Copies of this chain bind each other. A is one copy, B any other.
Amino acid sequence: MNSVIETILNHRSQRSFLPRPLSEDQIKTIVESAQAASTSSFIQAYSIIGITDPGKKKALAELAGSQTYVEENGHLMVFCADLYRHTLIGELEGQDLEASLDSTEKFMVACIDAALAAQNAAIAAESMGLGICYIGGIRNNLPEVCKVLNTPDRVIPLFGMVFGYPDQVNDKKPRLPFEHVYMEDEYQQSKDRYLEQLKDYNRTTSEYYKERTGGKRSDTWTSQMAHMLSAGRRMYMKTFVQGKGLNKK
């Protein structure tokens, strides 16, 4: 196993950091790594906003559900799907790009582009001995997040990422079984086999929580998911994204 794969496989979300900021060099390397990722047809439909202002950091931490690690870390970035740039390209080139920019296809492309860049950022940071955590919580209240970040139309902040020097090492959570996620030639056709795999995985996650909590917790993955999904969180998203001029057509 080479050191790259070692870094990748060693990932765990880090939610507690030493009070030591990242250096400018580290931030630059992380962003350059993000930019080196593939981008759909070279569209580069994302932006990254680094948060240095303590007031803004505090505001984002509150909006993300009062998670202290969003405020207390070595650095916080917000990754945005961004087709504002391409709106301006329409002006610059005197061409009507509206139908394309309004489309679900281009919204997907922008989400994917931002995520590819972010994952490069995550791996680069982890290779430097830093810990990271994605902050999906900013999607709890995107209208307010957009105000804090002063984003124009066709820019959607998708998630934050916190970086920092870890002050403790977390366990790695067991993922779905390999053969459940990776299939050959077509999608797995046996529903019974599929459900069996989920039940197997439930035993694994249940064991994992039991071990970690000395038996206090033993929830299964499917019960966690059902609980989370039954709540119907962030149901404003469709209207919000369309109001920003994306995912409309």
Give A residues with C-beta under 8 Å from B. Answer: 1-5, 7-11, 13, 28-29, 31-38, 40-44, 46-53, 56, 80, 84-86, 88-90, 92-93, 95-97, 99-101, 103-106, 108-109, 111-112, 114-116, 118-120, 122-124, 126-128, 132-134, 136, 139, 148-152, 155, 158-159, 173, 175-176, 178, 181-187, 189, 191, 194-195, 198, 221-226, 228-235, 237-238, 241, 247-249
Contact = CB atoms under 8 A, between A and B. Distances in A.
Contact of A249 (B92, B99, B194, B238): B238
B9 A187 contact: no
18 contacts: A5-B29, A5-B33, A8-B120, A31-B178, A36-B175, A43-B225, A96-B230, A100-B230, A100-B233, A103-B232, A103-B238, A104-B238, A106-B229, A108-B111, A108-B237, A109-B136, A148-B186, A238-B248
A185 B56 contact: yes
Contacts of A103: 232, 234-235, 237-238
A127 B5 contact: yes
Contact of A194 (B36, B88, B133): B88
A8 B89 contact: no
A49 B184 contact: yes
A230 to B, nearest CB: 5
A90 B226 contact: yes
Given A32-B178, A89-B225, A119-B37, A48 B5 contact: no
Q: How many copies does the complex hold?
A: 2
Q: Is the interface of A mostly helix, strand, loop or mixed?
A: helix
Contact of A124 (B5, B36, B222): B5
